[in-house]
Structure formats: C-alpha cells, structure tokens
Structure 1
Amino acid sequence: MVVAVAASSHTLATPSSPLSTTICCSNSINKNLALTRRRALVFSSTVILSPLLNFYHPNSTSAIALPEDELQQEEDRLVHLFQETSPSVVSIQDLELANNRKSTSNEVLPIDDENAKVEGKGSGFIWDKFGHIVTNYHVVAKLAKDKSGSQRCKVLLVDAKGNSFFKEGKIVGYDPDYDLAVLKVDAEGYELKPIVLGTSHDLRVGQSCFAIGNPYGFEDTLTTGVVSGLGREIPSPNGRAIRGAIQTDAAINAGNSGGPLINSYGHAIGVNTATFTRKGTGVSSGVNFAIPIDTVVKNVPYLIVYGTPYSDRY
C-alpha cells in the first residue's frame, strides 16, 4: 500500500618523460666511449624511474591524484549542494489551539503557546520572495478544512543570511487532486531564498537525486539516491490518480512530505510526497515517490492567484 507521508570522471595525469635519449659523441674520443655509454645508461634509467618515484612519493606535488582526493571532492560537492539549497526548505507544524484559545483566522498565531498541540509535521519550500510556500495538501489538510478557528500552521524558515525565524502560515490555495497546497507567510523585513526550479520532463532513470526535509521532526535532513523510475501512478488524498510521479530510492519518511526532490545542480525536480511501507510496520521499503516539478509549475500559479486549481474554475 502507498502511504502518503511526508558520476564523476577523473583523468590520471602522469609526469611527461622522454621515452628515449639520443646521445651524440665524437668518433675521435673512442677512449671515453664506454664511460659515455655508462653515463647515458645511468641517466636513462633515472629518467625512466623518475615518474615512478613521483607516483609513489606521498609528498610529491606532481603525484597522480589518489582515489581519496576524488572522494573528498564528491563529498565537498554534496556539502555545498546542501548548504546552497537548505535555506529554501522550511519546516511546517500543524497546530491545534486549546479550546479556550480558538480564534478567527486573522489573529496572530500564538507560536509560543504551550497549550497548542502539534497535530503533525511536514516540509515545504520557498516558492518566491513574497513568502509563498509550496507543500503537500495532506500536510495542511486540517488547516484547509478547519471552520472552527482552532487550526494553525507554524513555519520555520531561514533567510538568505542564515537567520532562523518562525512565522504563521496562512493557506492560500490547495489542490487535493495533485496533493499540492500553497501557504503564505509575512516575510517583511526578511530576505527569503526561493528554491531554483528545474524540469522533470527530461529526467532519466539512474541520475542522482536528493531529498531535503524534516523526517520525524529532524530538521534539515539530506538523503541521497537516484531516479529509480518515471511515469508512476500514485493515489492522491482524495483517491484520484496522480500520474507521472517520480520514483526514487532517496529516503522519504514521515515529515519529508512537501519538501523538494532536487538534482545534482540543486534544482527542484519534484515534491516528495509518498512511500511504500511494509504492511503493519510503517517502515519505508525504499520505494518512494515525488510529484514532478512540471506538474507543480503548472498548478501552483493558479493556487496563488485564484486559490483553487485551474480545473475547478470551469
């Protein structure tokens, strides 16, 4: 059952060395011929051994790059990828206010209210500098359906300078058919870093991908994998099929929902949304899914402007 939840190449450079040595000597100096040849042989041997000595000498500046160097470069690349992308990812908490704190949706969220009950957690990402946040519908479904004024949404963001802050997220629009929703936070005085959008129509099975989110409430978690399959079909919260989903083995668990699936350039290629779990265990099987970013780009602008998906307006 599907449960909604949250190559690098290298070149070896060897020092250049002559393959042969030309020795010129005068015919009139026969007595020194043997000595000259002996010196030539010694010289030639030294030239041949020189690159080998450079190869094995650990302190040689011209030594061939060892595998550890390539590994370090790959690790540095992943660290940089995370550092550049994570400020665009947010943590979302679904809150229910205590009975005596129910209020209108226009009231400022008491984010420090100890009586507020955390109903669920998820992830999202910054869509634009105006404070729009994209996430899964199932992450904020209670807020979308709330008519009592008891539901609130608490969003943890990081600005472009690395400063963390909390804001209330107001729901702007949602589309259960594609399990998408848009929140809006008051970002005045903060410089937000919107995520860089990629494309999903040109994805290939086997290419690297990465998920950033807040699984089980552990903020800013990076998991790695590959695109395992394309064109999958998964159920939406209202039971309809979401077609064209991306399958990946990058770990997606409860709390990852709504966070971005990114490529090796840090561009969003999907919205993490679901995973297959082993029946009765709740443990991910490693078969995970994301809504393709092309679908997101098509639908989110309508949610921001109209509050409803394009299909509901006609």
Structure 2
Amino acid sequence: MKNHLLAIALLCLSLTGCSTLQMEERSTVAIFERSNPAVVCIQADDQPEDDFGTVASGTGFLWDKQGHIITTQHLIAGYKTLTVSLADKRTLEADVIGFNKEYDIAVLKLRSLENLPPPAVTGSSANLKVGQTVFSIGNAFDLGRSFTTGIISAVGRNFGDPQTGGISNLIQTDAAINPGSSGAPLIDSSGRVIGVNVAIYSLSGGSEGIGFAVPMDTVKSVLPRLLAGDTG
C-alpha cells in the first residue's frame, strides 16, 4: 500500500513538472497564433534572382483595417509595388505609400481589403526592460514564417554611422533575426508589437544574437506623415 501511494505521489510530482512546462509552451504557442495572422511576407515582383535562385525578401505586419502594412524602407527602396503573402497563403499586391529613411520605416497599402485578418496589436516601447522576453515572426532567408524568441539585450542603441545613414535609439535583442526578417514585428510576452526589426550586426551574414529594432513609439511618431504619403 505504501509503495502504491509513493508511486502515485511521484506520478503527481512528475505531472506537475510537465504541467508547468506545458503551460509555458502553451503561452508561447498562443502568442504565435495570435500574432501570426497579421504578419506578411514581402517580395518585389521584378527583382532578379541571385546566384542561389532566390530574390531579396522581407517581412511586414498589418497596421490597420485599411490594409496599411509597416515594413522597412531599405526593403522597398526603388519599388512602387510589391507582392505580399498572407498567413492563409493568399498573395496580394501592395503599393508603397510613404517611407522615412532616417528610421528605415515604410508603409505599404494592399490593393484588396477582402477578408483581411485583424491588424497587429501594438504596445508602447517607453518602459522596456533589459532582460524581458521578446519574440519575432519573420520571413528568414525567404523560407517562410519563422518564430524566434530571446530577450531585450539593450535599449537606446545606435547602429551604423549617423553621418551615412545610421539609426539611433534602437532596441537590441538576441532573438534570431536573419536576412528576410527586416520589417518583422518584435513582440512582447503579451503579444503586443513593441518594435520593427531593421538590422543585424553580423560577421557571417546570419544571426549572431545581435539584432536591432526601431521602437514602436518612434514608429508611431513618424507614421502620420508616412500615411499621408511622405517620402522623406
């Protein structure tokens, strides 16, 4: 009888440990499932293929019900129209509405608004803490959607030379951000977008745990001008 009770007790302890892990996993899965529909993969129709048979690609996310998409300026530079792939596999055309080179942010607008998923939920970047958990959904290497996680490594970072187009006051994260993830949302543990991924620091060309995102409060400050068609 004692052995039977001991076995039950050990089983309960084992299940409790698994339950804790499963709850954490369920929370992470829920963040992806809530955030993913608003994320889009972006390509330019007339880009030439590189030596590997691929074209430059990036990511963005739906800003509102009017079909506006936030992405990066360096991705759309030189193009007026791009192809956007939704989570449900639909492919739509989007036009460049406005962009800001200083912060590397651009706005596209979908030509079709039929059955669009809900826009991304955004938060404030005013009180971010080093060490808090973040997530990213990006079109890494044009392989399709990739969900990565990490922490905020630093805030207020500068990337590049301001005299030649560097960006200041960025969020630094060790969440994997690879080529193709430019424009991807940086998401907090509540599923709110707190930044837009714009760059990586890498000696190899891939993620080395040093990625940068424009804070959401910065994006919101320039967005009205971009929605109005500013291309400064």
**TM-score (ref. length: structure 2):** 0.89
Q: Distance in 2 between matches of 1:209 and 1:237?
A: 27
Q: Distance in 1 between matches of 2:47 and 2:159?
A: 33
Equivalent residue for 1:153?
Answer: 82
| Correspondence list, 1:234-249, <5 A | 234-235=159-160, 239-249=164-174
In structure 2, the residue corresponding to 1:286 is in which secondary structure? coil
Equivalent residue for 2:33?
Answer: 83
Matched, 1:227 2:152: yes
In structure 1, the residue corresponding to 2:137 is in which secondary structure? strand
Larger radius of gyration: 1
Matched, 1:56 2:6: no
Residues 221, 236 of structure 1: alpha-carbon distance in 2 compared, 3 angstrom cutoff: farther
Native 8 Å contact 1:131 1:192 kept in 2: no
Residues 64, 120 of structure 1: alpha-carbon distance in 2 compared, 3 angstrom cutoff: closer
Equivalent residue for 1:37?
Answer: none
Native 8 Å contact 2:60 2:70 kept in 1: yes
2:71 is aligned with what amino acid? T
Q: Per-residue CA shift, 1:133-152, capped at 9, x if unaligned?
A: 000001111215xxxxxxx4
Native 8 Å contact 2:178 2:207 kept in 1: yes
Native 8 Å contact 1:270 1:291 kept in 2: yes
Equivalent residue for 1:122?
Answer: 58
1:216 is aligned with what amino acid? F
Equivalent residue for 1:258?
Answer: 183
Q: Distance in 2 between matches of 1:285 and 1:191?
A: 35
1:201 is aligned with what amino acid? A
The CA deviation at 1:54 is: 7.8
Q: 2:127 aligns with which of 202, 205, 214?
A: 202
Q: Per-residue CA shift, 1:272-307, capped at 9, x if unaligned?
A: 1111111xx323321111111110011112100242
Native 8 Å contact 1:96 1:119 kept in 2: no
Q: Distance in 1 between matches of 2:161 and 2:82?
A: 22
The gaps in structure 1 that reach 5 residues or longer are: 1-45, 99-116, 145-151, 310-314
Q: Distance in 2 between matches of 1:274 and 1:256?
A: 9
Equivalent residue for 1:108?
Answer: none
Equivalent residue for 1:29?
Answer: none
| Correspondence list, 1:36-75, <5 A | 53=6, 56-58=9-11, 66-75=16-25
In structure 1, the residue corresponding to 2:25 is in which secondary structure? helix
Residues 215, 256 of structure 1: alpha-carbon distance in 2 compared, 3 angstrom cutoff: same
In structure 1, the residue corresponding to 2:29 is in which secondary structure? helix
Q: Distance in 2 between matches of 1:255 and 1:237?
A: 24
Native 8 Å contact 1:137 1:180 kept in 2: yes
Residues 97, 84 of structure 1: alpha-carbon distance in 2 compared, 3 angstrom cutoff: closer
Q: Distance in 2 between matches of 1:243 and 1:97?
A: 30
In structure 2, the residue corresponding to 1:78 is in which secondary structure? helix
Q: Distance in 2 between matches of 1:207 and 1:65?
A: 28
In structure 1, the residue corresponding to 2:102 is in which secondary structure? helix
Equivalent residue for 1:21?
Answer: none
In structure 2, the residue corresponding to 1:200 is in which secondary structure? coil
Matched, 1:214 2:139: yes
Matched, 1:173 2:98: yes
Q: Distance in 2 between matches of 1:164 and 1:218?
A: 13
Native 8 Å contact 2:47 2:55 kept in 1: no
Equivalent residue for 2:73?
Answer: 137
The gaps in structure 2 that reach 5 residues or longer are: none
Q: Distance in 1 between matches of 2:158 and 2:7?
A: 56
The CA deviation at 1:239 is: 2.5
Identity of aligned residues (%): 39
2:43 is aligned with what amino acid? Q
